[in-house]
Structure 1
């Protein structure tokens, strides 16, 4: 691993720039000196949100300064999704709800149908196909919002724009463009407020909360999720409303876990599970895949963020019915990657960890090859690897992610 792509050397350089010792940074970040030293030397992965947040706060830098921004490799599957970023930036930054960049747009019913089709592209993690069409849809929806034929048409355009901006929020975040993710979420919230429906407002709040800066703000993230949950609860009586409410409770649980408020995290998880039992356990049918199965997926992710390793992670993962995740590749890939990251923390389960990470890559290669946490874990596994067979598989995945090997 090189200084360009490894978190360890970058972290060490930031620490020395701040003229801080290992003990000073470790104490302020809530970790041991040995753990921090292992991260700097590439022996352990920096893959817990709480540690990334703590280190950013201790060093007085952003999380991007630590984990790095988008890194493009020679692999087209990893690099090609980034080609759509200029068009996305133009669509978000040249339009407002009151002043569209152009007066030309397809009929609204065509744009609504196009957005529905893009939801399938979104859930199967095809960033390249999404990037070909989503910027244009967002661009044209602004025209219908600003120049509607009537009030009903404007409300439909606003609701559709919220959905389209949600797609942009999460995919730009996945690719490492935090500024665009925030702009898309902010536009969704602006549109939702103008629309006025509590469920639509809840959708936009979920997007915005996902883009809030992580360094030193997990208490604010939890509070925002709790506030949005409380606001939506009285009106969340249909499947969509319950799905949105469920995703907000899961977000509150994750933030609580990162804050080490484990009892609170568990309480939110239990509430999410109760909500999920009111819906079909079919992630593809529910908004943002909310379901009993998806709660199980989040349970694994939250456990990894809470520091679970090896067998404990695997035990929670075995409860999840992966067959129900087949149609939601992004969620499935995230689940597989979380299990792999948790297993990788135990050197004895390195081989098994690699197997899960390779499965994740197979399910959603564009997503996984652009995932900083997976990249860091692969780097750690490379450092540990000694057996030729394992090294060969690791080198292959490392090459596809642009990691020197």
Structure 2
């Protein structure tokens, strides 16, 4: 493989050699062919499914995050959002809900407004803004939540939302281990509140972090329990319920089971309401279709995935972060069909305009671009693709 091209295959090869494993041994343990593994390591085939990544991680005795995390992304030092991760880590490690942690610098009303502002900013891909503001918000909310006055209850409620935002922010940047820490802190706050809706919302963040870590069985158990806590008799409860049901659908596919019943349940729940965006989760009929698209991709059914994507108007997707995810997944579907490189590049370029940091650090986008750019080098075309690869930090020289 060209020395200036960095992708997931290089990380797999590095870990394989560190384990003193042959191509035959790793391929056999992961349940794939030696030829396919060789193509992955040499950048001639991209990894398209979480199942394959999980199988390779298990065979290499590492976590999924060790393969897909932010540690091998060349340009992370140039990302303002990534630069915030150490401060977020300190804010989470240096605070606790078990003991008083000082006096907040802002009132609980100000903290509530800031929590909602950052939740909205996150779903609109304003990652640098969110990264700068999260550490002091987390510190202040912990201080307010451990106070003995009337601020404790609203501070705990805001902390559930803030840690939910933090977990998703970190997961999108590849810091999945830390995303789990943030989600666990939100779960602690929700448990203190003893409110099933807040517990289920916090559990959705935990399940999402676990999906990022490849712990699908545990994610499924948490989401199923969260759904069981709720009586979906109001919009907020229905939206939180629906998102957890979608997690169970995804985990069913990962377990080799039929996800259709759960997808239909989520779809029926979405049709019962006018969405109010509880906990900024964006539950809606369009969101159900996004999960259906992702599940088709995990099933390796690129034809069905492309069909689902074609039926989703971009304007029906309410937030930038969901539109970005849709564009990347649509690109994955068309890439799997082959011969659609121009369309794939166009979709990824549109995603990059919505959220440059998210797209450039998205493992699926990087895998697609890595594979396509090698083919583009064989001819005189691919200028737009090479530019995208360069901005992703995949190329040291063109």
Question: TM-score normalised to the size of structure 2?
Answer: 0.92
Q: Deviations over 1:342-368 (max 9, x none)?
A: 221233122221121111111221211
Q: Deviations over 1:275-315 (max 9, x none)?
A: 111122x5857740000011011111111111122x43221
Residues 1:318 and 2:319 aligned together? no
**Match of residue 138 from structure 2:** 138
Q: Is the contact between residue 73 and residue 79 of structure 1 (CA under 8 Å) also seen in structure 2?
A: no
Contact 1:94 1:100 in 2 (8 A): no
CA distance in 2, matches of 1:249, 1:123: 21
* Aligned residue in 1 for 2:183: 185
Gaps spanning 5+ residues in structure 1: where? none
Cα deviation, residue 236, structure 1: 2.6
Q: CA deviation at 1:31?
A: 2.8
| Matching residue within 328, 338, 354 for 2:345 | 354
Q: 2:161 touches 2:279 (CA, 8 Å); kept in 1?
A: no
Q: Cα 1:30–1:302, aligned 2, differ >3 Å: closer, same or farther?
A: same
Please list, as runs of the form range in 1=range in 2, the aligned pairs for 1:4-403 lying within 5 A after superposition.
5-71=6-72, 73=74, 79-150=79-150, 153-212=151-210, 217-232=215-230, 235-261=231-257, 263=258, 265-280=259-274, 287-309=280-302, 311-325=303-317, 327-385=318-376, 386-389=378-381, 391-403=382-394
**Do the aligned residues in 2 keep the contact of 1:313 with 1:339 (CA within 8 Å)?**
yes
In the TM superposition, residue 270 of structure 1 has moved relative to its aligned partner by: 0.9
Contact 2:328/2:365 (CA < 8 Å) preserved in 1?
yes
**What do the CA deviations read for 1:308-344 (whole angstroms, capped 9, x no partner)?**
22x432211011121122x400110001001112221
- CA separation of 1:315 and 1:129: change in aligned 2, threshold 3 A: same
For 1:165 and 1:172, the matched residues in 2 are separated by 10
Contact map agreement 1:54 1:215 (CA 8 A) in 2: no
**For structure 2, which runs of at least 5 residues remain unmatched after alignment?**
none
CA distance in 1, matches of 2:208, 2:131: 20
Per the normalisation by structure 1, the TM-score is 0.90
Counterpart secondary structure, 1:348: coil
| 193-202 vs 286-295, which moves further | 286-295
CA contact (8 A) 2:13 2:41 kept: yes
